[in-house]
Amino acid sequence: MPMSTAAQAIFDWFSRCSLPGWIAFSLAGNVAIFLLSIGLCWLLGFLFRDRPLFDRPQTVTRGDLGLACLAVVLNSAVAVVGWLLWKTGWIKITHPAWWRTLLDLLVFVGTMDLGMYLSHRLAHHPWFYARVHARHHTHESVNPISLFVLHPFEVLGFGGLMITVLVLLPLSGIAVLAYLTLNVLFGTLGHAGVEPFPPAWSRLPLLRDVGSSSFHAAHHRSPATNFGFYSTVWDRLFGTLD
């Protein structure tokens, strides 16, 4: 089955869901993402234990677990809002040819990367940092749930940014699913505490601009640098790259 046909079948199934069914699906899906991210962090930590980025992992606290569970619930709520906007026609999902799907993915990743860079820099403004973002930076090193240890406003802010892009830009269904997968992978890599990529990658064109584990680890060590998420492009452009 062609990928576009498979994606259309998936979105057709999404459209047939009832609201209670979609709420249950969103919650179950986000719980699964949470557990898979933790599992991947542990696996990376084991496979690349000879390439640690910190002296020791961050201790997991009861407060961290509470924030992580709340993040899962709020991410599920964002998925429900996005589904409702799609069902009512505010979000347009297309199923074009492969080249347009690839272009949509690049546009989606690039737009979100810029939006996340700007919002991340804003989060480090003293007023917002003290009230919102400082909690994430209590993790001077990282552990498998660091990705989810966020103030609720940050979780909703990211969700709101993504929904805004989807409302403004009609995008391929495959591109949306691929972006969501890449988002989890980049977030997990950024908080894995080890560097799985070989050192030579940092000297190669294009690959050196990928936001690696080391790139985000440097942000936890030095919060005034490396605000990007998927790439180093905006940090290079605006002079915040460590």
Q: What are the pLDDT digits (tens) for 182-205?
A: 999 999 998 889 999 888 777 777
Amino acid identity at 161: L
Angle at 128 between CA 124 and CA 130, to 5 degrees: 90
The yes-or-no verdict on residue 67 having pLDDT over 90 is: yes
Rounded-to-integer distance, Cα 93 and Cα 116, Å? 22
CA 33 from centroid of its chain's CA atoms: 11
Q: Which two tokens stand for residue 151?
A: 């103030």
pLDDT in tens, 109-159: 999 999 999 999 999 999 999 999 998 988 888 888 999 999 999 999 999
Longest pairwise C-alpha distance within the chain: 52
Angle at which helices 62-87 and 152-168 cross, to 10°: 20
User: Which stretches of 48-172 are DSSP H helices?
Assistant: 62-87, 98-123, 126-131, 152-168
Collapse the DSSP code of 229 into the 3-class scheme (helix H, G, I; strand E, B; otherwise coil) and give the result. coil
The yes-or-no verdict on residue 179 having pLDDT over 90 is: yes
Q: Which residue has the tokens 């080391």?
A: 214
- Going from the C-alpha of 208 to that of each of 19, 61, 114, 200, 204, the distances in angstroms are 43, 34, 17, 9, 6
Contact 45, 194 (CB under 8 A): yes
Q: What pLDDT sits at residue 3? A: 64
CB count, 10 Å around CB of 128? 17
Please state the pTM of the whole predicted model.
0.92
